[in-house]
Structure 1
């Protein structure tokens, strides 16, 4: 089998298509022939040497795939050879075949293309676990999403609208904001030309956002508190700024606010089991109804993986970037 490995950390050109030993499904696992793999920011961090695979996982990137089941490990029920699935992985998705814990696999939702389904597992698990399971976003509330045109952002907009929330987004161009609007975003904020705190307060009669989904971190943390509604919840899912943030504890207390910091990859298998069960029971019906759909920016061959990573690093993409064997 082939995999996109990283022999030496570095830029996009460090990605190398390599022959690696075949994977074998162990007890409780599925072997998938990969149709497509999703590209995530974590993959870039791994390529640069900052985010190695967890113990026991393949040493190359890839957190989500779609494909066809080629083998079923001992003790697995509910799956058969030939079934199609998408799956959440700790690493190793950039390959022509993967093994995955069966409880971390999901059926391809009706109406979703097999290749496009690779855009769902990591993104949906991140958004659903943070907005719904952790922050408790509900109908009538207002969500602020930073980076609304990203894979996470485009998913978060749709999930929040399906829940009956009002959605505000920040993005860096009119084109990106228009893409967010077509997905249902109600408040469009160009962070390059507008102050998002001022806009949020103006658009909500001074109340602010009930939930803030923030992948930026750094200086955004203090400003998120300024944009927060009473009893609001800030969820930090990444720190793309690379900077530590500081907060006014008094300001946070005055809002009765909470700050959650989370990652998905480091969660235990059992925690991920629960998230996948929640997705299958509550989110997948929304995907099958068309209320939520994967937004695909571009598709790239494995041999063109460097270009795919370059596309993500440019921040010009809208939605998910996929790699195809």
Structure 2
């Protein structure tokens, strides 16, 4: 079967689990900005890591055959042939029906998954599109989807019981102003105690300079000593401090190497909330030990597994 995209208000592109283990070859990790929403969208369709659509702005999809889909992300109006549906649940669709998603906030990221997964060209083991590197996408040229595009869906081997709607306690409470955990980073000791406390006790604003590569923040400048630093690998969520003292948080399509000092890394358990921020949103940070950050992430995964086991 195939689906036809009838509406793409802003941008839409394929993502999967990303290009793992390829940073040393110069390929960015890529993959979803909101890993939690992406993963749950797939689980609601009875699968893990299948290629889904990450989109910003309104999206319309028409189906050529019966299918099971899910939509995850912050608040949005979802209609199937003008009938309202909820996000964070499995949705049965029939041939000829049209699904329309209208996000409540332009700039938020949503995910459309379909049972079987969308078929896109794979480059270095991943179907995730990277516009900057002209990789992936429907024609493997790094271009986002547009209205009129048709995408093939992988066949499903056999019928299977799908999870019910996600329980309320597992649905993230996305807020415009997020408080996120910051794990001390590679060059944390470059910051004086005063500068570290300034970073933790100040409010930062997400600037318009945001994309899948990184989010620039604006707020009290963080002062660092002038030292030479060799370029080194950059972790997902790493907070770089450039000479102007305004933090930059590196996201899924970040470059593989960077030469700015890293004050810390946003904890994986909070990264989805940060990723859903749009320009103008306020961000505050709290210090989180690496072991505590890992424990919080594992507890989140354990809660998902308990739901799946029922």
TM score, norm. by length of structure 1 = 0.25
Indicate the structure with greater helix content.
Answer: 1
Higher relative contact order (CA 8 A, sep 6+): 2
